[in-house]
Amino acid sequence: MGTDPLSQSRWPLLGEWMGRTMSSTPDRVCPEERFQRLVVNESKRSRRSGHPCRIVLLYCTNLQGLVIPLAGELTGKAFSLLARSCRDTDYIGWYRQGDIVGVLLTTLQRESIADGCKTLKARLSDRLRDALGNTTKHFLQIHLLAPDDLATFMVSNCASVSPVPLNQVL
């Protein structure tokens, strides 16, 4: 629960829903703790309803394959682009504060999940590459994961996925 008045009122679910509807705008990016909580809650809801969810993780690595912090203008551009590219029902936040951006894709249709995720990944990689500019100093990483895969996702192993410079096709 949040610290806003609606969350602490007699209707905490209303407060949670109100916070949810405003979470996908560039000025309302979920902090790490809230985003992690949303992932857990959505994963449970997903199992109960049969409508899967997925998590997109975005981050940059340096030439050695180590995760580098997303800074200033780069972060602003990424969040703005994500807010325009995602649905109103999706959440944008920090999976790891300052380093890894997460997008929680909610209520997906089981029949179209593979095609939808593939299309979203291609769209995000094209738009992010264009927005962030060409560089060979860092590499954009985009991972689409099921909630259960997050437990095995280790940032230190991300370099094993071949990094692609921002000026190359993902």
What 106-110 contacts at long range (C-beta under 8 Å, 24+ apart), as own/partner pairs, is: 106/42, 106/46, 106/53, 107/46, 107/49, 107/51, 107/53, 108/51, 108/52, 108/53, 108/54, 109/51, 110/50, 110/51, 110/52
What three-state secondary structure class fits 30?
strand
Confidence band for 92, pLDDT divided at 50, 70 and 90: very high
- Read off the pLDDT of residues 5-14 as tens digits, 9 standing for 90 and up: 444 445 454 4
Per residue in 111-158, pLDDT tens? 777 787 788 888 888 887 777 666 667 788 888 888 888 877 765 445
pLDDT at 158: 52
Residue 53 tokens read as 């969810």
Higher pLDDT, 115 or 169: 115
Three-state SS for 78?
helix
Would you call 64 helix, strand, or coil by DSSP?
Answer: coil
Confidence of residue 34 (pLDDT cuts 50, 70, 90): very high
Instruction: Give me the pLDDT at residue 4, please.
Output: 47
Domains (range + CATH), the chain? 29-165 (3.30.70.270)
What pLDDT is attached to residue 32? 92
